[in-house]
Structure 1
Amino acid sequence: MAQTQQYRIIQPAEVATGMVIRIHQKIVEGSSKDAKERIQVYEGLVLNVRGKSPNRTMTVRKVSNGVGVEKIFPLHLPSIEKIEAVKQYKTRRKNIAAVVASKKRLKEVPIKPARMKPAPAIPQESERLSASEEASDGPTVSIAEAPAESAPVEKTEQESSENGTEEKQPA
Protein backbone atom coordinates (compact mmCIF):
# COMPACT_ATOMS: atom_id res chain seq x y z
CA MET A 1 0.00 0.00 0.00
CA ALA A 2 1.32 3.45 -0.88
CA GLN A 3 2.18 5.83 1.91
CA THR A 4 0.20 9.03 2.05
CA GLN A 5 2.06 12.14 3.03
CA GLN A 6 0.49 14.49 5.53
CA TYR A 7 0.27 18.13 4.48
CA ARG A 8 -0.85 21.12 6.51
CA ILE A 9 -4.50 22.03 5.97
CA ILE A 10 -4.90 25.77 5.41
CA GLN A 11 -7.83 28.15 5.38
CA PRO A 12 -8.83 29.88 2.11
CA ALA A 13 -7.62 33.21 3.51
CA GLU A 14 -4.08 31.78 3.92
CA VAL A 15 -3.63 30.92 0.23
CA ALA A 16 -0.86 33.05 -1.29
CA THR A 17 0.95 33.40 -4.58
CA GLY A 18 3.82 30.94 -4.91
CA MET A 19 2.28 28.11 -2.90
CA VAL A 20 1.99 24.59 -4.21
CA ILE A 21 -1.39 23.43 -2.93
CA ARG A 22 -3.65 20.40 -3.12
CA ILE A 23 -7.35 21.23 -3.57
CA HIS A 24 -9.81 18.50 -2.59
CA GLN A 25 -12.99 19.21 -4.57
CA LYS A 26 -16.26 17.28 -4.37
CA ILE A 27 -17.44 16.20 -7.84
CA VAL A 28 -21.00 14.96 -8.49
CA GLU A 29 -21.30 12.57 -11.43
CA GLY A 30 -24.51 11.47 -13.11
CA SER A 31 -28.09 12.68 -12.98
CA SER A 32 -29.97 13.52 -9.81
CA LYS A 33 -31.41 9.97 -9.50
CA ASP A 34 -28.18 7.99 -9.67
CA ALA A 35 -25.65 10.66 -8.69
CA LYS A 36 -22.26 9.56 -7.41
CA GLU A 37 -20.01 11.80 -5.37
CA ARG A 38 -16.23 11.60 -5.33
CA ILE A 39 -13.33 13.75 -4.19
CA GLN A 40 -10.95 14.96 -6.89
CA VAL A 41 -7.52 16.28 -5.91
CA TYR A 42 -5.98 19.06 -8.02
CA GLU A 43 -2.37 19.85 -7.13
CA GLY A 44 -0.61 22.85 -8.61
CA LEU A 45 1.20 26.15 -8.17
CA VAL A 46 -0.82 29.26 -7.26
CA LEU A 47 0.00 31.87 -9.92
CA ASN A 48 -2.32 34.61 -8.74
CA VAL A 49 -4.79 35.44 -5.98
CA ARG A 50 -7.12 38.28 -6.77
CA GLY A 51 -10.29 39.98 -5.61
CA LYS A 52 -11.83 40.81 -2.27
CA SER A 53 -13.67 38.39 -0.02
CA PRO A 54 -16.14 36.70 -0.79
CA ASN A 55 -15.37 37.06 -4.52
CA ARG A 56 -11.70 36.10 -4.12
CA THR A 57 -10.27 33.73 -6.72
CA MET A 58 -6.99 31.90 -7.26
CA THR A 59 -5.36 30.70 -10.46
CA VAL A 60 -3.71 27.29 -10.04
CA ARG A 61 -1.40 25.75 -12.67
CA LYS A 62 -0.30 22.15 -13.00
CA VAL A 63 1.45 20.17 -15.74
CA SER A 64 -0.45 17.02 -16.70
CA ASN A 65 1.16 14.65 -19.25
CA GLY A 66 3.44 17.43 -20.49
CA VAL A 67 0.56 19.88 -21.00
CA GLY A 68 0.12 22.91 -18.73
CA VAL A 69 -3.37 23.28 -17.30
CA GLU A 70 -4.53 26.41 -15.46
CA LYS A 71 -7.74 26.45 -13.48
CA ILE A 72 -9.42 29.35 -11.67
CA PHE A 73 -11.05 28.47 -8.34
CA PRO A 74 -13.22 30.76 -6.23
CA LEU A 75 -11.72 30.52 -2.74
CA HIS A 76 -15.12 30.18 -1.05
CA LEU A 77 -16.46 27.53 -3.43
CA PRO A 78 -18.82 25.22 -1.47
CA SER A 79 -17.56 22.11 -3.29
CA ILE A 80 -14.00 22.59 -1.98
CA GLU A 81 -13.59 20.16 0.91
CA LYS A 82 -10.11 21.23 2.04
CA ILE A 83 -6.92 22.92 0.86
CA GLU A 84 -3.50 21.53 1.80
CA ALA A 85 -0.19 23.39 1.52
CA VAL A 86 2.59 21.27 -0.03
CA LYS A 87 5.37 23.82 -0.65
CA GLN A 88 5.95 27.55 -0.51
CA TYR A 89 8.14 29.43 -2.99
CA LYS A 90 9.58 32.88 -2.35
CA THR A 91 7.95 35.45 -4.60
CA ARG A 92 8.24 39.20 -4.93
CA ARG A 93 5.17 39.78 -7.08
CA LYS A 94 1.46 39.23 -6.80
CA ASN A 95 1.17 37.61 -10.24
CA ILE A 96 3.92 35.16 -11.17
CA ALA A 97 2.78 34.26 -14.70
CA ALA A 98 6.45 34.50 -15.83
CA VAL A 99 7.03 31.20 -14.03
CA VAL A 100 5.21 29.45 -16.89
CA ALA A 101 8.33 29.84 -19.04
CA SER A 102 10.97 29.12 -16.35
CA LYS A 103 10.83 27.70 -12.83
CA LYS A 104 14.51 28.42 -12.20
CA ARG A 105 13.58 31.75 -10.65
CA LEU A 106 11.74 30.20 -7.71
CA LYS A 107 13.40 29.47 -4.38
CA GLU A 108 11.65 27.19 -1.90
CA VAL A 109 11.06 28.52 1.62
CA PRO A 110 9.42 26.86 4.64
CA ILE A 111 5.63 27.11 4.85
CA LYS A 112 4.53 29.83 7.26
CA PRO A 113 2.72 28.52 10.35
CA ALA A 114 -0.96 29.30 10.78
CA ARG A 115 -1.78 32.46 12.65
CA MET A 116 -3.61 31.32 15.74
CA LYS A 117 -4.45 33.08 18.94
CA PRO A 118 -2.52 31.74 21.94
CA ALA A 119 -4.55 29.60 24.29
CA PRO A 120 -5.36 31.15 27.68
CA ALA A 121 -3.11 30.01 30.50
CA ILE A 122 -4.63 27.39 32.79
CA PRO A 123 -3.71 27.84 36.46
CA GLN A 124 -1.99 24.95 38.22
CA GLU A 125 -3.59 23.10 41.14
CA SER A 126 -1.56 25.08 43.67
CA GLU A 127 -2.71 28.39 42.16
CA ARG A 128 -6.40 27.57 42.12
CA LEU A 129 -8.58 29.09 44.82
CA SER A 130 -10.99 27.15 46.98
CA ALA A 131 -14.66 27.35 46.07
CA SER A 132 -15.51 29.72 48.94
CA GLU A 133 -12.75 32.19 48.05
CA GLU A 134 -13.61 32.00 44.35
CA ALA A 135 -17.27 32.86 44.97
CA SER A 136 -16.58 36.02 46.99
CA ASP A 137 -15.10 39.24 45.67
CA GLY A 138 -12.13 39.11 48.01
CA PRO A 139 -10.79 37.38 51.09
CA THR A 140 -13.37 37.03 53.86
CA VAL A 141 -12.65 38.61 57.26
CA SER A 142 -14.65 37.80 60.36
CA ILE A 143 -15.80 40.60 62.65
CA ALA A 144 -13.46 39.48 65.42
CA GLU A 145 -10.47 39.82 63.10
CA ALA A 146 -11.51 43.20 61.71
CA PRO A 147 -9.47 46.17 62.94
CA ALA A 148 -11.25 48.55 65.27
CA GLU A 149 -10.78 51.56 62.99
CA SER A 150 -12.65 50.06 60.09
CA ALA A 151 -15.68 48.97 62.15
CA PRO A 152 -18.51 51.54 62.43
CA VAL A 153 -18.69 53.14 65.88
CA GLU A 154 -21.92 54.40 67.38
CA LYS A 155 -21.74 57.28 69.84
CA THR A 156 -23.78 57.14 72.99
CA GLU A 157 -25.48 60.16 74.55
CA GLN A 158 -22.79 60.52 77.18
CA GLU A 159 -19.94 60.62 74.65
CA SER A 160 -21.72 63.16 72.47
CA SER A 161 -22.48 65.43 75.46
CA GLU A 162 -18.83 65.20 76.53
CA ASN A 163 -17.70 66.37 73.11
CA GLY A 164 -20.13 69.29 73.26
CA THR A 165 -22.34 68.18 70.47
CA GLU A 166 -25.84 67.04 70.99
CA GLU A 167 -27.63 64.84 68.55
CA LYS A 168 -31.33 65.13 68.25
CA GLN A 169 -33.02 61.82 68.04
CA PRO A 170 -36.10 61.49 65.86
CA ALA A 171 -39.33 60.98 67.71
Structure 2
Amino acid sequence: MRRTRVRTLAAVAVGVAAVGLLLLRLLESRGIFVPGAAWVEVAALVLLAGLVLWAGWAVRSYLRGDRPDLDPLRAARTFAMAKAAAYTGALLAGRYVASVLLVLPQLDVEPRREVAVTSGVAALAAVGLAVVGLVVEKFCEAPPPEEDDGTEAVPS
Protein backbone atom coordinates (compact mmCIF):
# COMPACT_ATOMS: atom_id res chain seq x y z
CA MET A 1 0.00 0.00 0.00
CA ARG A 2 1.21 3.49 -0.79
CA ARG A 3 1.34 6.31 1.73
CA THR A 4 -1.36 8.93 1.71
CA ARG A 5 -0.52 12.23 0.06
CA VAL A 6 -1.14 15.47 1.92
CA ARG A 7 -2.46 17.03 -1.28
CA THR A 8 -5.14 14.34 -1.49
CA LEU A 9 -6.23 14.93 2.09
CA ALA A 10 -6.37 18.68 1.53
CA ALA A 11 -8.51 18.16 -1.58
CA VAL A 12 -10.87 15.91 0.38
CA ALA A 13 -11.19 18.45 3.19
CA VAL A 14 -11.80 21.38 0.83
CA GLY A 15 -14.31 19.37 -1.23
CA VAL A 16 -16.26 18.27 1.83
CA ALA A 17 -16.23 21.83 3.20
CA ALA A 18 -17.57 23.25 -0.06
CA VAL A 19 -20.30 20.65 -0.52
CA GLY A 20 -21.14 20.73 3.19
CA LEU A 21 -21.49 24.50 3.20
CA LEU A 22 -23.86 24.34 0.23
CA LEU A 23 -25.95 21.64 1.90
CA LEU A 24 -26.03 23.46 5.24
CA ARG A 25 -27.15 26.68 3.55
CA LEU A 26 -29.83 24.80 1.65
CA LEU A 27 -31.10 23.17 4.84
CA GLU A 28 -31.13 26.46 6.75
CA SER A 29 -33.03 28.14 3.93
CA ARG A 30 -35.74 25.53 4.51
CA GLY A 31 -35.77 26.10 8.27
CA ILE A 32 -33.66 23.08 9.25
CA PHE A 33 -30.79 24.03 11.53
CA VAL A 34 -28.02 21.42 11.81
CA PRO A 35 -26.09 21.71 15.08
CA GLY A 36 -22.36 22.23 15.10
CA ALA A 37 -19.89 19.93 16.78
CA ALA A 38 -20.22 18.84 20.39
CA TRP A 39 -17.38 18.84 22.89
CA VAL A 40 -17.68 15.06 23.18
CA GLU A 41 -16.74 14.84 19.49
CA VAL A 42 -13.58 16.80 20.19
CA ALA A 43 -12.72 14.44 23.05
CA ALA A 44 -13.40 11.40 20.84
CA LEU A 45 -11.14 12.74 18.08
CA VAL A 46 -8.32 13.41 20.53
CA LEU A 47 -8.75 9.94 22.07
CA LEU A 48 -8.77 8.31 18.64
CA ALA A 49 -5.63 10.18 17.61
CA GLY A 50 -3.94 9.02 20.82
CA LEU A 51 -4.88 5.39 20.17
CA VAL A 52 -3.62 5.52 16.58
CA LEU A 53 -0.36 7.09 17.76
CA TRP A 54 0.02 4.44 20.47
CA ALA A 55 -0.45 1.62 17.94
CA GLY A 56 1.97 3.30 15.56
CA TRP A 57 4.57 3.71 18.28
CA ALA A 58 4.50 -0.04 18.88
CA VAL A 59 5.14 -0.67 15.18
CA ARG A 60 7.94 1.91 15.20
CA SER A 61 9.57 0.08 18.10
CA TYR A 62 9.18 -3.21 16.23
CA LEU A 63 10.84 -1.88 13.08
CA ARG A 64 13.73 -0.48 15.12
CA GLY A 65 14.24 -3.86 16.75
CA ASP A 66 13.21 -2.76 20.23
CA ARG A 67 10.12 -4.97 20.25
CA PRO A 68 10.76 -8.20 18.34
CA ASP A 69 7.57 -9.92 19.57
CA LEU A 70 5.16 -7.79 17.53
CA ASP A 71 3.22 -9.62 14.83
CA PRO A 72 4.01 -8.26 11.33
CA LEU A 73 0.31 -8.54 10.51
CA ARG A 74 -0.38 -6.05 13.29
CA ALA A 75 2.01 -3.65 11.60
CA ALA A 76 0.06 -3.94 8.35
CA ARG A 77 -3.22 -3.42 10.17
CA THR A 78 -1.80 -0.40 11.95
CA PHE A 79 -0.82 1.08 8.58
CA ALA A 80 -4.36 0.56 7.30
CA MET A 81 -5.76 2.12 10.48
CA ALA A 82 -3.44 5.11 10.07
CA LYS A 83 -4.59 5.60 6.48
CA ALA A 84 -8.22 5.44 7.62
CA ALA A 85 -7.48 7.94 10.40
CA ALA A 86 -5.90 10.35 7.92
CA TYR A 87 -8.91 10.23 5.60
CA THR A 88 -11.37 10.41 8.49
CA GLY A 89 -9.59 13.46 9.85
CA ALA A 90 -9.74 15.16 6.46
CA LEU A 91 -13.44 14.37 6.01
CA LEU A 92 -14.36 15.58 9.48
CA ALA A 93 -12.21 18.69 9.16
CA GLY A 94 -14.15 19.62 6.03
CA ARG A 95 -17.46 19.00 7.78
CA TYR A 96 -16.53 21.15 10.78
CA VAL A 97 -15.06 23.93 8.64
CA ALA A 98 -18.36 24.04 6.72
CA SER A 99 -20.17 24.60 10.02
CA VAL A 100 -17.78 27.40 10.95
CA LEU A 101 -18.14 29.08 7.55
CA LEU A 102 -21.93 28.86 7.79
CA VAL A 103 -22.15 30.77 11.08
CA LEU A 104 -19.25 33.15 10.46
CA PRO A 105 -21.47 36.08 9.38
CA GLN A 106 -23.58 35.71 12.56
CA LEU A 107 -20.94 35.69 15.29
CA ASP A 108 -22.77 38.42 17.20
CA VAL A 109 -25.49 35.88 18.09
CA GLU A 110 -24.40 33.85 21.15
CA PRO A 111 -25.59 30.37 20.01
CA ARG A 112 -23.98 30.86 16.59
CA ARG A 113 -20.73 31.95 18.23
CA GLU A 114 -20.79 28.80 20.35
CA VAL A 115 -21.28 26.69 17.21
CA ALA A 116 -18.32 28.46 15.60
CA VAL A 117 -16.07 27.85 18.61
CA THR A 118 -16.91 24.18 19.11
CA SER A 119 -16.81 23.44 15.38
CA GLY A 120 -13.50 25.30 15.04
CA VAL A 121 -11.93 23.32 17.87
CA ALA A 122 -13.35 20.11 16.40
CA ALA A 123 -11.85 21.03 13.01
CA LEU A 124 -8.45 21.45 14.67
CA ALA A 125 -8.84 18.08 16.41
CA ALA A 126 -9.80 16.48 13.07
CA VAL A 127 -6.72 17.98 11.40
CA GLY A 128 -4.71 16.57 14.31
CA LEU A 129 -6.18 13.13 13.64
CA ALA A 130 -5.19 13.41 9.98
CA VAL A 131 -1.66 14.46 10.91
CA VAL A 132 -1.35 11.58 13.38
CA GLY A 133 -2.52 9.23 10.63
CA LEU A 134 0.21 10.52 8.31
CA VAL A 135 2.86 10.25 11.03
CA VAL A 136 1.86 6.69 11.90
CA GLU A 137 1.95 5.77 8.21
CA LYS A 138 5.56 6.97 8.25
CA PHE A 139 6.21 4.90 11.38
CA CYS A 140 4.94 1.80 9.57
CA GLU A 141 7.22 2.30 6.59
CA ALA A 142 9.62 -0.62 6.48
CA PRO A 143 13.21 0.10 5.48
CA PRO A 144 14.08 -1.03 1.97
CA PRO A 145 15.53 -4.52 1.84
CA GLU A 146 19.28 -4.75 1.54
CA GLU A 147 19.78 -6.22 -1.88
CA ASP A 148 22.88 -7.63 -3.41
CA ASP A 149 23.64 -5.58 -6.50
CA GLY A 150 25.65 -8.38 -8.08
CA THR A 151 28.97 -6.51 -8.21
CA GLU A 152 30.85 -9.16 -6.27
CA ALA A 153 33.57 -10.98 -8.12
CA VAL A 154 32.45 -14.41 -9.19
CA PRO A 155 35.15 -17.08 -8.61
CA SER A 156 36.22 -18.78 -11.80
Higher relative contact order structure (alpha carbons within 8 Å, sequence separation ≥ 6): 2
Name the structure where strand makes up a greater proportion of residues: 1
Larger radius of gyration: 1
Q: TM-score, normalised by structure 1?
A: 0.19
Q: TM-score, normalised by structure 2?
A: 0.21
Name the structure where helix makes up a greater proportion of residues: 2
